[in-house]
Amino acid sequence: MLFWNKLDGKIIKNRYEIQNTIGNGGGGKVYLAKDLIENKLVAIKTSNPNQTMSNWKERFNMEAKILSKLNNPYIIKFHDSFEEQGIKMIVMEYVEGISLENKLKKSKSIDQKEALKYTKQLLTALSDVHSHKVYHRDIKTENIHITIEGNVKLLDFGIVQETVDQDLTRQGSVIGTISYMAPEIIKNTYKKANPRTDIYSVGIMLYQLLTSVKPFKADSNLFGAEKNNNLAKKIIHDPLIEPSDIDPSISQEISHFVMKLIEKEPEDRYQNTKEALVDLEKILSGNTIETLQGYYAEETKDFSMKKQIIILITIIVSLLFLVIIGIILFIYF
């Protein structure tokens, strides 16, 4: 009998010889295996049949279905999927390299050109994903692998959302990783994913690569659900600090590009990956993006006017308060 978490040394389907574990989680494990027919290494993702999520089988099948549709150099390649003794398995290409999360931990910061290269490749991958009316919903550094050649591989399509069957992902509460999640999804977890929600996550990733920090962080004295709630409120309500304000070596062009990726209002973001790629290509070519300059000049102007109005209201309220205090003192003393 096979056990999903004890497959080391087993030969599956008379073809895949399991070597060792390369990934582990509550939902299943990922094994390194040798394809005895093709004589090459592969990665095999297995399901945990004992997990508590009621629709895990549908999710696993959805991941296999989506991966089988995709053929992009920046997305992990699908080879096969099957069920063996009650254990669902997906066979994918084995990619040598390092996760972007671990690369960032080791390097502390990523070179700007390198960060933009990764972003371009990721947006290219998502263009392919979105063309199938599918949305990833969990773009983060942990789900992006950097190959030994220095290119992106997008992983983990376990919580994808397909427009034809969006109810599949609605069981439970928040789906995804809060620090990379678009504000409109945090406000309403039943809201449908779309290109702009993935674009927001890409922007958070780029912000992190350029500055070594995420734009929002929960208070350090909080834990568990309280910590998540605190972070969610900040993402929804707190103002964004431009990357160039954190690191002056980041050009205004790049900083504005990041800010448009992570605008709080989805209507103010790039509406699709193609729009974002057009501006990114201009940045990589050293060209000026007039629309971004004008856009943020207007944003700055609006912010300045709002600030002046707030200051004026504060002065008026303070004066009224002083007048009231003066009248009270005059009457009683």
Res 1: pLDDT: 78
Active-site residue, from 138, 156, 198, 279:
138
Res 26: pLDDT: 63
Instruction: Report the phi/psi class of residue 251: left, alpha or beta, with left for phi > 0 and alpha for psi in -120 to 50.
Output: beta
Contact between 253 and 296 (Cβ < 8 Å): no
Burial class (CB in 10 A: 0-12, 13-18, 19+), 241: middle
> Tokens 């997305």 sit at which residue?
75
Q: Provide Rg for the chain, Cα atoms.
A: 24
Query: For residue 165, what pLDDT band results from cuts at 50, 70 and 90?
Result: very low
294-315: pLDDT as tens digits = 555 455 445 455 556 667 777 8
Instruction: Report the phi/psi class of residue 320: left, alpha or beta, with left for phi > 0 and alpha for psi in -120 to 50.
Output: alpha
Query: For residue 160, what pLDDT band results from cuts at 50, 70 and 90?
Result: low
31-83: pLDDT as tens digits = 999 999 999 999 999 988 877 666 778 888 888 999 999 999 999 999 999 99
Amino acid at position 146, single letter: I
What mean pLDDT, rounded, does the chain reach?
Answer: 87
Query: How far, in Å, are 81, 88, 132 from residue 61 at the CA level?
Result: 9, 8, 16
Strand partners, 45: 30, 90
Q: Show the tokens assigned to 204.
A: 């958070």
198 is catalytic: no
Q: What is the DSSP string of 242-264?
A: PHHHH-TTS-HHHHHHHHHHT-S
The SS3 call for residue 13 is coil
Q: At what angle are helices 112-131 and 273-284 packed, to 10 degrees?
A: 150
31-40 CB contacts, 8 Å cutoff, 24+ apart: 31/7, 32/94, 33/91, 35/79, 35/91, 36/11, 40/94
d(CA 18, CA 207): 38
